[in-house]
Structure 1
């Protein structure tokens, strides 16, 4: 009998506390008292404090009996009230530590807000900030077992695994499993997906696109040549039917950064051939020609995968033709028919292509992700996910 009375008292106390919280929230929401220390989460009218409080009161009994003493657990109510709180620019900065520079290439750490409109994120490469950092970014190619953090890992800290190389061009590490919380790669199933480039809607409405002057037919810049690559074999066959201007270290015709832009934009078609074929592995070999006003001829994952990221009329896929000879005939036709060639530029009236800021973009979006999403996450079998 005494236990039943105590339980009833606990339930009444819970309801009383919940009502006090609700009335305070309603008062603050609607009357906006000028008290700086009273900080309730911003709640929209469509999801008002009163509605949240009512739903909280409908939750299962949150009282406990410990040594016949009533303990009221209102954590669930507090969590429910704060779960809609939005990230604001007045929140303390989220700190992301870049443990190693990707490929040793440094970038400006202060451009997240100006380039990507990401606020409240602070990037650092100062390892002494390890204990204060909300996230730590590790670049796969630079990971070494003798260069990993040795201090105890803070419970709130997330480790982000970054890799932009395809599985064929990066070797797995046996110690990667159960180590990271988030992934940042080119793959669409990553936690933080950062492609090699993007197609974005033009600001200011549609405009007519002026095709750059063309004085070359088909071009290809290649510095990593291997007869085992599918792209090398396809090139050899295609080159038997059309003339291809080939550049790069592999053919002793290197192209400087200064000359690259003018060269690619002067070609009617550019061979955007990937060095390995994997889902979502669509690199700057595609996005750079798109940005420079050249029609890319792609060899990589299936057309369907490309069309998940770029317009279908922005490129030519080798799989659309039964043979390199048939592709060569199609390119000749487009070269002779200006009207047909211009159809590959109609998407440019509404969209624009851009390239990724390698490393910086991964860091900024990773920081923004951990700032917004506080849930626990662990990548238990990274090796199987990426290389399996």
Structure 2
């Protein structure tokens, strides 16, 4: 079955309200999104007062005065958009701005219960790649790698890794570690992914995909980038239900271990078990990342399909309440 778009609803329009640094409006508006690639037709316009939908990147608003004042049409939907987690709670005080209170109709966040989920990736089964897994295994010499630029986070992942390093070698790349890939003269923060991922595939058994915060459903691109053509087994740590949402035997979940040291000991053991390691790597390589579904295409579809009247009386409570928690393993 295919969705039929009624002729009368073809000309849906939206505007994006994305403040620049300092609260100015307009950074993103000057970069039109390619809606012509979307299945459901819609158009990005600049006129706030004419758009069917206004999308607010709420994380960027730093003061109530930055919210643009305009005559909002009665039928215009407001969308709260952010890919950030609530642990940066002080940045989301702006959800209490009088100009925002009780005004939003839809949510677009990483949460799966959002009106429009703003997720970082999706996995799909693919043809098993033909590879010399014996050769791949023989070439690996270091247990684990971690690419990181933000050192101190709510998840305390820096402490988690330091404790792992008591048991196992973990090479830390980027501004928080001593390793780099790409231009040796460049900034450690600027990791050259075109060189980092081949190095990862060649040298390391495992990659630590550690989230910066423990929040429900929060899984960022660091996990999804390991699928496809990267020959390394992911080790995940975060607040999402990985076992429910992703294929089994394609990753190692840190929550299965009582401590970082226990996890480190397990990685050492598994790296020595050629048959078991190759089995997991093969299973992981059976999945690739779906071509990215652009958020604005999801928005266009929502505009065409959903005409219900709803609003969030307290969006800050919806976004923050019971969503994040402190890690218990460090």
Say which SS state the counterpart of residue 313 (structure 1) adopts.
coil
Q: Distance in 2 between matches of 1:322 and 1:380?
A: 41
Q: With structure 2 as the length reference, what TM-score do the two structures score?
A: 0.78
| Map of 1:146 onto structure 2 | 65
| Map of 1:334 onto structure 2 | 270
Report whether the alignment pairs 1:386 with 2:319: yes
Q: Distance in 2 between matches of 1:102 and 1:135?
A: 20
| Map of 2:128 onto structure 1 | 207
**Which is further off, 376-385 or 147-156?**
147-156
**1:234 pairs with 136, 160, 164, which one?**
160
| Map of 2:34 onto structure 1 | 111
**2:239 pairs with 290, 301, 308, which one?**
301
| Map of 2:171 onto structure 1 | 245
| Map of 2:18 onto structure 1 | 100
Q: Deviations over 1:84-133 (max 9, x none)?
A: x942578532111111168856896453453xx42312224x2xx22221
Report whether the alignment pairs 1:366 with 2:299: yes
Are the aligned partners of 1:281 and 1:301 in contact in 2 as well (CA < 8 Å)? Answer: yes
Q: Distance in 1 between matches of 2:155 and 2:81?
A: 25
| Map of 1:187 onto structure 2 | 111
- Structure 1 pair 278/372, CA: closer, same or farther in 2 (3 Å)? same
Q: CA deviation at 1:272?
A: 0.8
How many residues end up aligned between the 2 structures? 292
**Which is further off, 186-195 or 86-95?**
86-95
**Which is further off, 171-180 or 101-110?**
101-110
Q: Distance in 2 between matches of 1:276 and 1:136?
A: 29
Say which SS state the counterpart of residue 199 (structure 2) adopts.
helix
Aligned-residue RMSD, C-alpha: 2.9
Q: Distance in 2 between matches of 1:331 and 1:131?
A: 57
- Superposition map of 1:39-188 within 5 A: 86-88=4-6, 91-100=9-18, 104=27, 109-114=32-37, 117-124=38-45, 126=46, 129-143=47-61, 144-170=63-89, 171-172=91-92, 173=94, 174-175=96-97, 176-188=100-112
Q: Distance in 1 between matches of 2:198 and 2:285?
A: 22
Q: CA deviation at 1:380?
A: 1.2
Q: Distance in 2 between matches of 1:187 and 1:178?
A: 20
**Which is further off, 259-268 or 373-382?**
259-268
Higher alpha-carbon Rg? 1
Q: Distance in 2 between matches of 1:186 and 1:217?
A: 31
Q: CA deviation at 1:346?
A: 4.3
Structure whose residues are more often helix by fraction: 1
Q: Distance in 2 between matches of 1:323 and 1:247?
A: 23
| Map of 1:55 onto structure 2 | none
Are the aligned partners of 2:103 and 2:311 in contact in 1 as well (CA < 8 Å)? Answer: yes
Q: CA deviation at 1:209?
A: 5.2
| Map of 1:275 onto structure 2 | 212
| Map of 1:288 onto structure 2 | 225
- Show structure 2 runs of 5+ residues with no match: 22-26, 181-187, 322-330
